[in-house]
Amino acid sequence: MDFPAETWQRLSHSHFYLDRSDTRLELDYSQVEQFYFPLAQRLLDSLKPDARLLVSVAGIPGSGKTAFSTLLTGILNAHCREDIAVLIGQDGWHYPNAYLDSHTLHFGGEEVTLRSIKGAPESYDTTSAYSCLLSIRQQVEVSFPVYDRTFHDPIPHAGHILKSQRIIIVEGNYWLLDEDPWRSFYPLFDLHILLSADTASLVDGLRQRHLKGGKTPQTVEEHIRRVDFTNAARILQHLLPPDIIVHKADSFRISRIE
């Protein structure tokens, strides 16, 4: 299907922001026409009558999952002329900082607080995440937690899904992690998308994201080396099969889809 001019016109008059922040995402016509719109059409074609379509978007830290998912959601809604799609971020299911500060585990040969490795698989409340996604599958109105990038803590029930919203895109690092309890999420999704990128090409994006969050340069470099790279290796070594692989040139640009 050709990319409709009307859809681009509606998109070009819309504004998309990263993580509910003031960071505006720029639209690239060639990227939308070549990659995003065909993928959006595939999701629409996969919809079944009176059912929801749950789509996971997974990938290593810094691969651009939030930006990709934000644009894909916006394109679906612009093309359908209604809010048919909703985006949920996995980070909303982080344990609160109070919990992370008071719980420890063995990491890299030492006992550390979960707060010090925030972003690792163990820092998420997977029980709550599973319960929420199961409710979403049942096509009812559901609230979900949203991660606040200013206070760096999840806000319970900050997001809402209406019964009429039928495509639910859920982005996060670990939806394809082949470890317990994460592998139990795999059957909840109808379609699994993996963003694939070379780790080295993502370092600058990771660095800027952490710096914007208020960390010192020294703390950022240590976190990237100790936590982000460790999590990336863990994901790549224990990966469940995706249905679609989106190859990224960097955090924002797609090079091809298979």
Q: Where are the domains of the chain?
A: 5-257
Structure tokens at 253: 């640009």
**pLDDT confidence of residue 83:** 95
**pLDDT confidence of residue 208:** 78
Residues whose CB is less than 8 angstroms from the CB of residue 95 and which lie 6 or more positions away in sequence, other chains included: 103, 114, 123, 124, 125
**pLDDT confidence of residue 228:** 87
CATH number listed for the domain at residues 5-257: 3.40.50.300
CB atoms within 10 A of CB 239: 13
Q: pTM score, two decimals? A: 0.93
Distance from CA of residue 248 to its chain's centroid?
15
C-alpha dihedral, 212 to 12 to 90 to 113, nearest 10°: 0
Partners of 113 in the β-ladder: 104
Q: Collapsing DSSP states into helix, strand and coil, what is residue 239?
A: strand
**pLDDT confidence of residue 116:** 92
**pLDDT confidence of residue 212:** 73
**pLDDT confidence of residue 203:** 78
Mean pLDDT by 10 residues, the chain (258 residues): 92 88 89 98 95 96 94 97 97 97 91 94 98 94 94 95 96 98 98 90 76 78 85 94 95 93
Closest CA to 172 of 125, 114, 104: 125
**pLDDT confidence of residue 207:** 82
**pLDDT confidence of residue 248:** 93
Strands of the chain, DSSP E: 16-17, 24-25, 53-59, 85-89, 104-107, 110-113, 142-148, 153-161, 167-171, 191-196, 244-248, 254-257
**pLDDT confidence of residue 237:** 96
